[in-house]
Amino acid sequence: MSKFAGLGMFQSDTQVLEDIIPEQCPMSGIAADFEPFSKTYIDDPYKFFARARSEEAVFYNRETGCWVVTRYEDIRKVFQDPQTFSPALARHPVTPLCPAAAQVRDTLDIAIEPCLVDESSETHRPHRKIFGDAFTPKRVAEVEPRIRQIVTDYIDRFIEEGRENGQAELVSQLLYEVPALAIFIFLGAPDDDAVLVKQLGSSRAIVNWGRPSNDEQVELMKDMGRHWDFTKELVDGAIADPGDNYLGDMVRIHREDPSRFTVNYLYNVMFLMQFAGHETTTQASANGIRAMLSDRVQWEALCNDPSLAANAVEEILRYDTSIFTWRRIATTDTEIAGTAIPEGSKILLLLGSGNRDDAMFPNGEQFDIHRPNAKRNLGLGLGAHFCMGAPLARMEMRIILEELSKRLPDLRLVENQEWKFIPTLTFRGVQELQVELGKK
């Protein structure tokens, strides 16, 4: 087993890696300009991405302590070699926990263990087959009518609420809650709890991958404890009475052969899915609708031909995906694109950069819902750790595009609005999306 396996998500990178990264590392000009928490970068990282791909495709950045990889082909190779580039680092907090937050953490009855996104290949393969194979076309198709009805109901609501001023804010009035409801329907959890869990989980992106204040860290630990308790209650209820849903399927598999995974592992998977299963879809949908409405030719093409929605989703995931970086750790001395990478080095994969690499996507800076190879985007990962919830996420985003373009073809962005993004190393998402509804 890799010596990096089993690193707890509550630890910080500094705690885990302080004896691995050498004191002195090369510092290039492009690395000095990589400021991933600056407002300029958060507002528009793509200008830096284009420059990096051209000037220095792999570089070391002291601020993050990572070797940064910018080109599509190099990112692809890292993803497809989990033995050399371990996923164990994926959920580690970028910012070390402060003493007060660590004290709260130590009082919580949370048994976090690596699962799916950050476990070693030896255990990931059998677990991924079990949990991934259960995302059957049948299960996804079963929930589509209900999700479409929820989307329709939310659109009805914000149209009615915006009747006087002709405007709506799509994140709060549609995109925030719908993905949470969708994952709860799929799992078999009570709808009434979806928004609560959304609220408990939303700050996890900032605490794991951002620069939260000490107070934010403390509150997150408390929220994490409440979320874990909810998850245990949900799973324990399914163990007592498994329903005809995804979680029920997992319980039945465990009953048939408890050696395939433990109950605690099931807690961890459900804990992860209740966060990853909605937050990414919310952010990607917001980014995508902004891109669509910023180009009337693209929006009108979709309105005139709803069959373009599926490929539009892929182009959204390419052009401005919600997970625009991801992390790995080198398990041995290796190299990326001819650059020597020492064992124990942290790797930051700039997925958003790879997604606009002209070598894979000609005219990559252009948003084009007709793009023939859009589905090769990195927005849902690649290789063994490709997002197992991809069918559900794609379906949700497709429904949202289909219903908005059908119901509101005259939808437009409110002019001169300020774009606010979630300030993290990994997640990217427009926080508000003000629109003019036009003719109903």
The answer to whether residue 255 is domain-embedded is yes
The answer to whether residue 4 is domain-embedded is no
Write out pLDDT tens, residues 44-83.
999 999 999 999 999 999 888 999 999 999 999 999 999 9
350: Cβ–Cβ under 8 A, 6 or more apart, which residues? 45, 49, 52, 68, 69, 70, 75, 324, 325
Q: Quick count: other Cβ atoms within 10 Å of Cβ 244?
A: 9
User: When comparing pLDDT for 220 and 168, which is higher?
Assistant: 168
Mean pLDDT for 358-382 is 97
Write out pLDDT tens, residues 291-335.
999 999 999 999 999 999 999 999 999 999 999 999 999 999 999
Q: Which amino acid is at 229?
A: D
pLDDT at 28: 61
Contact 222, 101 (CB under 8 A): no
Least confident window among 95-99, 170-174, 294-298, 356-360: 95-99
Q: Which amino acid is at 75?
A: I
The answer to whether residue 3 is domain-embedded is no
pLDDT at 42: 94
Tell whether the model's pLDDT for residue 5 goes beyond 70. Answer: no
Mean pLDDT for 270-284 is 86
Write out pLDDT tens, residues 90-121.
888 888 888 998 888 888 888 888 888 888 88
The answer to whether residue 52 is domain-embedded is yes
The answer to whether residue 7 is domain-embedded is no
pLDDT at 24: 45
Encoding tokens for residue 196? 């609560």
Q: Which domain holds residue 309?
A: 13-436
Residues forming beta bridges with residue 434, ordered by sequence position: 169
Encoding tokens for residue 205? 């992106």
The answer to whether residue 115 is domain-embedded is yes
Q: How far apart are the C-alpha atoms of 352 and 45, rounded to whole Å?
A: 8
Rg for the chain (alpha carbons), in Å?
A: 21
Write out pLDDT tens, residues 182-228.
988 998 888 778 777 777 776 677 777 888 889 988 988 888 888 89
pLDDT at 203: 66
pLDDT at 12: 42
Least confident window among 105-109, 125-129, 327-331, 413-417: 105-109
Which residue do the tokens 């630990």 mark? Answer: 221
Q: How far apart are the C-alpha atoms of 231 and 189, rounded to whole Å?
A: 10
Domain of 313, CATH number, reads 1.10.630.10
User: Which among 4-18, 275-289, 336-350, 379-393 has the top mean pLDDT?
Assistant: 336-350
Tell whether the model's pLDDT for residue 16 goes beyond 80. Answer: no
Report the chain's mean pLDDT, rounded to a whole number: 89
Q: How far apart are the C-alpha atoms of 176 and 308, rounded to whole Å?
A: 24
Contact 424, 205 (CB under 8 A): yes
The answer to whether residue 398 is domain-embedded is yes
pLDDT at 282: 92
The answer to whether residue 2 is domain-embedded is no
Share of the chain above pLDDT 70, in %: 92
Encoding tokens for residue 131? 């949990």
Mean pLDDT for 376-395 is 91
Q: How far apart are the C-alpha atoms of 177 and 27, rounded to whole Å?
A: 43
Q: How far apart are the C-alpha atoms of 370 and 373, rounded to whole Å?
A: 9
| Number of domains present in the structure of the chain | 1
pLDDT at 97: 85
Tell whether the model's pLDDT for residue 21 goes beyond 80. Answer: no
pLDDT at 102: 87
Contact 279, 205 (CB under 8 A): yes
